[in-house]
């Protein structure tokens, strides 16, 4: 028997229940993993609340990331074997698979080897963050050495990964955060400049920092009407990339008559993770950064699997800087 986090209705963190279930054997193209750590993401809260693009099928589990050891492989799986230490990449819908459990079944296409020098807690904090930033920063070539980039919600795990990727390729990261309490931590994390949006005029500060040119890329998970403010700090022919929807209000297309011409687009990491060739390049890039030390997951806090509701509440409080990871303790009860 395994323990899985499931929920039977939409709602707050109290709907999450840890249950004993029979996981069974993996089907063709799948693997079963004994989980050691789980990375939490904002998408899982949105999914639990019913405001994510993918809707739950009850009873539903959830979760995109995990690290552990392969217990069994399904028919037709190549390159993975029982006993391999691995990590799970977000490359599936939560309505079909989930990672919140002691033992899980996921598609083999969503599993990557875990480098020996990366412990399970850090391995569970890698792939959502770095793959999300990798797409527009590296794969599309939107960011080049010497470019200024504006990273909003910069204290999130994706925001910190974007800061590290910018520094890795020689770009200049400008971090935006609402409150001054996170400013020094963002500077310590590698941001060249920090704009505290509760206290400062964001476009004016961006223009001051960039000598009036604006940023090459604004990388934003918030969306909503605030993108019009971001657009005022983007260089002519620069890029506004919206990769989330934390603000549920309508996101306007910036008016070309009010700002210099810019390229505006939405983006999800599935553009990388569900494309085998792009995923191969992303894994090689991120693993090289992990090996060199230029990419280092920032862990804010860990919780035990039995504390999953508390972990969700902690994320919803928006106080973290970096990744929240849930660890799994194995014993007779979960074997």
Distance from C-alpha of 151 to C-alpha of 168, rounded to nearest angstrom: 15
Strand partners, 265: 241
What percent of the chain stands above pLDDT 70? 97
Instruction: Note the pLDDT tens digit of each residue in 40-69.
Output: 999 999 999 999 999 999 999 999 999 999
Cβ contacts of residue 293 below 8 Å, gap of 6+? none
Residue 158 Cα to chain centre, angstroms: 5
Q: How far is CA 150 from CA 162, 250, 287, 300, in A?
A: 10, 21, 25, 22
Q: What is the pLDDT of residues 127-176, one digit of tens each?
A: 999 999 999 999 998 899 999 999 999 999 999 999 999 999 999 999 99
pLDDT band, residue 333 (cuts 50/70/90): very low
pLDDT in tens, 207-236: 999 999 999 999 999 999 999 999 999 999
Answer for the pair 275, 296: CB distance below 8 angstroms, yes or no. Answer: no
Q: 20 exposed, middle or buried (CB, 10 Å; 0-12, 13-18, 19+)?
A: exposed
Taking the CA atoms of residue 229, residue 231, residue 233 and residue 235 in that order, the dihedral angle to the nearest 10 degrees is -170
Quick one: pLDDT at residue 276? 96
CB atoms within 10 A of CB 289: 20
Q: Is the pLDDT of residue 116 over 90?
A: no
Whole-angstrom Cα distance, residue 203 to residue 209? 10
pTM over cut 0.85? yes
Task: Give the 3-state secondary structure of the chain.
Answer: CEEEEEECCCCCHHHCEEEEECCCCCCCCEEEEEEEEEECCHHHHHHHHCCCCCCCCCCECCCCCEEEEEEEECCCCCCCCCCCEEEECCCCCCCCCCCCECEEEEEHHHEEECCCCCCHHHHCCCHHHHHHHHHHHHHCCCCCCCCEEEECCCCCHHHHHHHHHHHHCCCEEEEEECCHHHHHHHHHCCCCEEEECCCCCHHHHHHHHCCCCCEEEEEECCCHHHHHHHHCCEEEEEEEEECCCCCCCCCCCCCCCCCCCCEEEECCCHHHHCCHHHHHHHHHHHHHHHHHCCCCCCEEEEEEHHHHHHHHHHHHCCCCCCEEEEECCCCCCCC
Task: Reply yes or no on whether the pLDDT at 302 is more than 70.
Answer: yes
What is the set of domains in the chain, with CATH numbers? 2-126+297-327 (3.90.180.10), 129-270 (3.40.50.720)
């Amino acid at each position: 028997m395994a323990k899985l986090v499931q929920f039977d209705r939409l709602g707050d963190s109290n709907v999450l229940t840890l249950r004993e279930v029979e996981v069974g054997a993996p089907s063709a193209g799948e693997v079963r993993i004994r989980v050691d750590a789980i990375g939490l993401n904002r998408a899982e809260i949105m999914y639990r609340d019913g405001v994510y693009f993918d809707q739950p099928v009850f009873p539903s589990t959830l979760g995109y990331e995990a690290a552990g050891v392969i217990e069994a492989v399904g028919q037709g799986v190549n390159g993975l074997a029982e006993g391999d230490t691995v990590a799970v990449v977000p490359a599936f819908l939560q309505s079909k698979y989930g990672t919140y459990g002691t033992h899980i079944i996921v598609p083999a296409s969503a599993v990557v080897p875990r480098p020996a020098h990366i412990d399970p807690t850090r391995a569970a904090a890698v792939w959502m963050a770095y793959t999300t930033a990798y797409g527009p920063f590296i794969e599309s070539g939107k960011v080049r050495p010497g470019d200024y980039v504006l990273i909003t919600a910069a204290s999130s795990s994706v925001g910190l990964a974007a800061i590290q990727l910018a520094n890795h390729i020689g770009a200049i990261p400008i971090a935006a955060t609402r409150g001054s309490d996170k400013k020094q931590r963002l500077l310590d994390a590698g941001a060249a400049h920090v704009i505290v949006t509760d206290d400062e005029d964001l476009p004016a500060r961006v223009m001051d920092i960039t000598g009036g040119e604006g940023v090459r890329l604004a990388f934003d998970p918030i969306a909503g009407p605030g993108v019009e403010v971001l657009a005022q700090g983007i260089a002519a022919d620069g890029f506004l990339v919206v990769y989330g929807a934390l603000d549920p209000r309508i996101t306007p297309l910036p008016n070309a008559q009010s700002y210099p011409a810019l390229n505006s687009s939405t983006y999800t990491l599935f553009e990388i993770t569900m494309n085998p060739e792009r995923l191969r390049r992303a894994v090689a890039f991120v693993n090289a950064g992990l090996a060199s030390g230029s990419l280092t997951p920032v862990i804010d806090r860990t919780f035990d699997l039995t504390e999953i509701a508390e972990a969700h509440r902690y994320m919803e409080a928006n106080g973290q800087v970096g990744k929240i990871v849930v660890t799994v303790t194995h014993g007779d009860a979960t074997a």
